[in-house]
A and B are shown apart, each in its own frame.
Chain A
Amino acid sequence: MALAIPQRVPWYMAPLRLLRAIFQVRQFPGVAMAILVFLLVIPGLFAEWIAPHDPIKGSLAARLKPPMWAPGGSTTYPLGTDKVGRDILSRIIYGARVSLRVSLEAIIVSGFIGTTLGLMAGYFGGRIDGFIMRMVDISLGLPIILVALVFVSVPAFGPSLTTLVTVISVLLWARYARQIRGETLSIKERDFIARARVAGASHFRIMFRYLLPNVVNTLIVLATLQVGFVIIFESSLSFLGAGIPRPTPAWGLMVADGRELIVTAWWISMFPGLAIMLTVLSFNLVRDWLRDHLDPKLKNV
């Protein structure tokens, strides 16, 4: 009788096995998806109903309360409060909305611009291609953070969500354009494009009805590739005081608020930073999975 003999596993393997199960990219990244849903999507959409306290108005009586498991903490403020008595948990929940909005908007806008220009460059070739690709080279060669800092200090924009989305899109479109152009170059040589042309389809129609559906997989993978980058970038800029303006609850801003209080109140920076990390980590895992399944040739992007 073949009994499964329990194998002796060294003690240190247990957490490693768990980590390995989580990081296993071949399987569907269920844990990562769950984290995204519970940390980003649900709080982002239903912040008003979930958050226990007001994210902007604090109570001065409850300043710098530690998280509930630390001595002096209470269940009223599960993750503690900041220096003006605002509940950290509520601010993280509202902060998810900012991250969600910025990344969605930036990726849609830059994806739209980048795809259109990439399709044009690949399809028309020649001078149009040369011009667009020079723009791409320049755009990719810009020191991103500095350009963003200069952009955000323009009074016509000022630090706001719209400015942030504009800046990120201006810098991100090039990544889409370069990839989409490369794909278009090979697809446009195929017979069905020539036949469509003979049948009298316009350039516009060929680009968006014939070429676009063939690059959709790449587009999806590219979009998920950027999400992690956008969230880190947004929080970095907010951290520098050049992103989301105060007192809007944004994760990067919250980390910045806690920097000077790191000696006395570590929780102010710690939890929003954890939220950023978990979100980006999950997106990266989902992205790896999507890439392996939808578009393996993007492995090196």
Chain B
Amino acid sequence: MQRYITIRFLQSLLALFVMSMIVFSLARMTGDPLDVLLPMEAGEGERERVAKHWGLDRPLYEQYFVFLGKALRGDFGNSWKWQGHTAMGLVLERMPATLQLAGFALVISVVLALPFGVLTAVWRDTLFDSVGKIFAILGQSLPGFWLGIVLMWIFAVMLGWLPTSGRGGIRYMILPAVCLGWFQVATTMRLIRSSMLDVLDSEFVKLTRIKGIPEWKVVWKHCLRNAAITPLTYFAISAGALIIGSVIIESVFAWPGTGLLAVDAVRARDFQVVQAIVIVFAAVFILANLLVDILYAYIDPRIRYQ
């Protein structure tokens, strides 16, 4: 088990390293930072002085290692757009809002997808199952940003039940979280259904039934436990997807999280902030996958001893 965790951990580090390299070179391609820092009419001397100050006069690989060393300490430099803030400081400041939203969306998706996934499998080929299927196909076809606007129009503008945008109490969170979790509910539900169908069909389930265990216990305990492995990985992947999806949903609802910050930073060509966000998001994404693999190995002992 320990060996497995170590290997997976090292792999995750490698992925993060590659990611940092990609981010660095992509960010450098977004244009000569000097053009953003300096006015158009700046002279050569001025350019050199500023380049020296920001370390832009050194070779690119050297700039990368400086970047990496600092990044490891959480230092991505100062923001260019938001004067007086460090890039990491901005990300950390906005992070709670994003985590809150993504967490709420994840809860919604688990709470909805789990029972509906199991029930559509138990009651397969009934009306309930067809409705579930229609819901799933719709869920995969709706663009999140448009769903956000439609929900906003219905619940905030026409009915006036919920606020249109911004951050406040739990009422502000409902619409964005539903939009964010919508796609996950649709996909996870189908995933749970198909793995439940496999398990419901297996021999050991017949045995539990023969032993006279009540049907609800067969379904919710014995079957679900075995069927949960595939959806479990998906939940972690969806944790990553929710964080990434927050970029779009946060701009729809003007939710002041990291996603909105990312869009603003890219528009303002604020390298430092973009780097910080992408690295932090990638780290969360990769960490989520690592956690799942460990959890996976914990549930299914066969994986550990490979």
Question: Chain A: residues with CB nearer than 8 A to chain B?
Answer: 16, 19-20, 23, 137-138, 141-147, 149-156, 228, 232, 235-236, 239-242, 252, 255-256, 258-259, 262-263, 266, 269-270, 273, 276-277, 280-281, 284-285, 299-300
Q: Which of B19, B29, B141 contacts A284 (CB 8 A)?
A: B141
> Given the complex of chains A and B, what is the CA–CA distance between A228 and B139 in angstroms?
12
> Given the complex of chains A and B, what is the CA–CA distance between A80 and B128 in angstroms?
38
| B145 close to A239 (CB less than 8 A) | yes
> Given the complex of chains A and B, what is the CA–CA distance between A23 and B266 in angstroms?
41
| B31 close to A154 (CB less than 8 A) | yes
| B278 close to A255 (CB less than 8 A) | no
Tell me, rounded to whole Å, the shortest Cβ–Cβ distance linking B197 to chain A. Answer: 12
| B15 close to A285 (CB less than 8 A) | no
| A273 close to B18 (CB less than 8 A) | no
Query: Which residue, of A147, A150, A262, A273, has the highest number of chain B Cβ atoms within 10 A?
Result: A150
> Given the complex of chains A and B, what is the CA–CA distance between A299 and B230 in angstroms?
14
> Given the complex of chains A and B, what is the CA–CA distance between A145 and B262 in angstroms?
10
| B143 close to A258 (CB less than 8 A) | no
> Given the complex of chains A and B, what is the CA–CA distance between A239 and B248 in angstroms?
8
- Against A, the Cβ 8 Å flags (1 = close, 0 = not) of B12-28 are 00010011001100110
B233 close to chain A: CB less than 8 A? no
Q: Which of B27, B131, B142 contacts A150 (CB 8 A)?
A: B27
User: Given A143-B278, A277-B143: A151 and B263 within 8 A (CB)?
Assistant: no
Shortest Cβ-Cβ A-B pairs, 9 listed = A273-B146, A281-B141, A280-B141, A149-B266, A154-B29, A143-B244, A150-B26, A155-B31, A269-B149
- Against A, the Cβ 8 Å flags (1 = close, 0 = not) of B184-196 are 0000000000100
Q: Which of A138, A150, A269 contacts B146 (CB 8 A)?
A: A269
Specify which chain A residues have a CB less than 8 angstroms from the CB of B134 in the assembled complex.
Answer: 19-20, 23
| B30 close to A240 (CB less than 8 A) | no
Tell me, rounded to whole Å, the shortest Cβ–Cβ distance linking B30 to chain A. Answer: 5
| B142 close to A277 (CB less than 8 A) | yes
Find residues 173-187 in chain B having any chain A CB closer than 8 Å to their own CB. Answer: none
Closest to A234 in B: B143
Say whether chain B's binding surface is mostly helix, strand, loop, or mixed: helix
Specify which chain A residues have a CB less than 8 angstroms from the CB of B263 in the assembled complex.
Answer: 149, 240-241
B119 close to chain A: CB less than 8 A? no
Query: Which residue, of B30, B141, B243, B278, has the highest number of chain A Cβ atoms within 10 A?
Result: B141
Specify which chain B residues have a CB less than 8 angstroms from the CB of A137 in the assembled complex.
Answer: 15
Q: Which of A144, A150, A270 contacts B266 (CB 8 A)?
A: A150
Tell me, rounded to whole Å, the shortest Cβ–Cβ distance linking B73 to chain A. Answer: 22
Specify which chain B residues have a CB less than 8 angstroms from the CB of A147 in the assembled complex.
Answer: 22, 26, 278
Closest to B183 in A: A232
Q: Which of A138, A149, A239, A256 contacts B18 (CB 8 A)?
A: A138
Specify which chain B residues have a CB less than 8 angstroms from the CB of A240 in the assembled complex.
Answer: 247-248, 251, 263
Closest to A238 in B: B145
> Given the complex of chains A and B, what is the CA–CA distance between A258 and B252 in angstroms?
11
B274 close to chain A: CB less than 8 A? yes
Supply 21 A–B pairs (Cβ within 8 Å), ascending by A.
A16-B131, A20-B130, A137-B15, A142-B19, A142-B22, A143-B278, A143-B285, A144-B244, A146-B277, A147-B26, A149-B266, A149-B274, A235-B145, A239-B143, A240-B251, A252-B143, A263-B164, A266-B153, A269-B149, A269-B150, A281-B141
Specify which chain A residues have a CB less than 8 angstroms from the CB of B30 in the assembled complex.
Answer: 150, 153-155
Closest to B271 in A: A150
Specify which chain B residues have a CB less than 8 angstroms from the CB of A263 in the assembled complex.
Answer: 157, 164
User: Given A262-B149, A273-B146: A150 and B278 within 8 A (CB)?
Assistant: yes
| A228 close to B133 (CB less than 8 A) | no
| B266 close to A242 (CB less than 8 A) | yes
| B29 close to A156 (CB less than 8 A) | yes
> Given the complex of chains A and B, what is the CA–CA distance between A242 and B267 in angstroms?
9
Query: Which residue, of B27, B29, B131, B266, has the highest number of chain A Cβ atoms within 10 A?
Result: B266
